[in-house]
Amino acid sequence: MSLEGRTALLAGATGLVGRDCLARLLEHPAYARVVVLVRRSTGMNHDKLQELRADFDALDDLPALPAVDDVFIALGTTIKAAGSRPAFYKVDHDYVVSVAKLGKRAGARRLSLVSSIGADRTSMNFYLRVKGEAERDISELGYECVDILRPSMLLGDRTEHRTGEALAAPILRIVSGAMIGPLRVYRAIEARDVAAAMVGGLVSDDTAGVRIRTFDDIRNFAS
């Protein structure tokens, strides 16, 4: 498999992880083109960058995409920001799966998804159940390689203000070091490390199938 001249499809480029993922894709020598699905412009100018204004409720109406090799999905919201559980489900499940299907139709064979630690389609927790359902549905689309990244709390500068996370972040930075053994997966992690693992995981690991990556795996690919 050639690691030159590849085309990436990215959704979520204006979010906390997506911003860093976009920057890394544009800098990476393996990628000649980065197609970004956006509702609003990223504000970036780059020879590799192609922005497609997209209505995520109607991705089937998009003009034909160029041939795509790899798909990167960093879409996500919160129930509070979405306003309701159905609205949250639409973003974190329906939009995510729709992007994965779009990439598959464009010929992509590999996909990287930002999910969440604890994601489980049978969970009693609504948030984690939705994440688990999205993982399941993407895993059944027939991609050769699917990377599922399951970080705990993300650290970094958000464009939107989340009061609870802003207050908790300094504390989590301190207590994360005390999380050892099986608790390591719950350590807070920098969003830029997750972005680095999204790109690094697909570029450097050709293992077929679904790969679940938690804290240590993410940090290893980011280092």
Positions annotated as catalytic residues are 127, 131
Q: How far apart (Å, rounded) are the C-alpha atoms in residues 165 and 92?
A: 19
Give CA torsion, residues 126, 127, 128, 130, to 10 deg.
80
Count of alpha carbons within 13 angstroms of residue 213, beta-carbon side: 28
CB atoms within 10 A of CB 223: 9
Helix, strand, or coil (residue 26): helix
165 Cβ neighbours under 8 A, 6+ residues apart: 153, 158
Give CA separation, 50 vs 23, 93, 166, in Å.
Answer: 13, 25, 33
| Cα 27-30-32 angle, rounded to 5 deg | 75
Q: How far apart (Å, rounded) are the C-alpha atoms in residues 2 and 110?
A: 13
